Amino acid sequence: MEMPEIDLPLLERWLTGWSLSRGVPLPVNEEGGLRVEVGMPLQLRRYVFLDAGLDLQACADRIHAPHIYLKAPVDPAVLRAALPARWSVESPGYLMLGPASMSGHVALPAGYVIESSAEHGAKLVQVSHASGELAASGRVTLDHGTAVFDQIVTAESHRRLGLGTVVMQALDALAAQADVTERLLVATDDGRSLYAKLGWQLLAPWSTAVLPAPALEQI
């Protein structure tokens, strides 16, 4: 598979999918990057830039309020070096590209049921145990040929059964039905290994910075 160029339009396609998935306003271009007014208590706004260059640095210099995030497809050390000391850099993520057909098929284990629905601008897949407990879930948005996979989660007590793969397979089937040509996600350390086994490829590291809330607010 030919790897796409990591440019601002690609980041906008991913961020549009993320915004649709979360039910927040779509990204707008602003001062060399992208901005989303998330409007949640612990994330008021997020900015996404192509690198940790002058545009990101100028944005960071203007921000003094907590709960505003800066993100870029760069190594965490690069982002750390570009920012004033008051910024906190979070655990690394990984921008990944999905295959046209995922590998590693897994059947739904006995005692579980899978259901699909819609929420915000996303298709939602949930796997529940016979007890009624939610075991795993995930969502995908389908927009102008791009599928963005989001919030892939398996409950601790239901791990190591292949349920994450089951969810990914179901989401990928929805993407295939929509004839998408591009599949994107941002993975955590834990998720990266699962997605790699399914044929996803690393596009770039993904780094996040935020201003910590004042100590009184954290109590």
All structural domains of the chain, each given as residue ranges with its CATH number in brackets, are 8-94+205-218 (no CATH), 112-203 (3.40.630.30)
Instruction: Give the pLDDT confidence of 159-188 residue by residue, as tens digits.
Output: 999 999 999 999 999 999 998 999 999 999
Q: What is the chain's mean pLDDT, rounded?
A: 94
CA 148/CA 98 separation, integer angstroms: 10
Judged by DSSP in three states, 73 sits in coil
How high is the pLDDT of residue 76? 97
Question: What is the average per-residue pLDDT within 45-71?
Answer: 97
Pairing of strands 134-143, 146-154: antiparallel
Angle 105-106-107 from CA coordinates, rounded to 5°: 125
Beta strands in the chain (DSSP E): 28-30, 33-36, 45-48, 68-72, 88-89, 93-97, 112-119, 122-129, 134-143, 146-154, 182-187, 201-210
Instruction: Give the pLDDT confidence of 125-151 residue by residue, as tens digits.
Output: 999 999 999 999 999 999 999 999 999
Question: What is the average per-residue pLDDT within 110-123?
Answer: 96
Task: Give alpha helix (H) positions in 76-214.
Answer: 76-82, 163-177, 189-197
Q: Looking at the predicted structure, is the pLDDT value of residue 218 above 90?
A: no
Instruction: Give the pLDDT confidence of 182-207 residue by residue, as tens digits.
Output: 999 999 998 999 999 999 999 999 99
Is this model's pTM higher than 0.75 or not? yes
CA 98/CA 187 separation, integer angstroms: 12
Measured distance between the N- and C-terminal CA atoms of the chain, rounded to whole angstroms: 49
Where does the pLDDT of residue 219 fall: very low under 50, low under 70, confident under 90, or very high at 90 and above?
very low
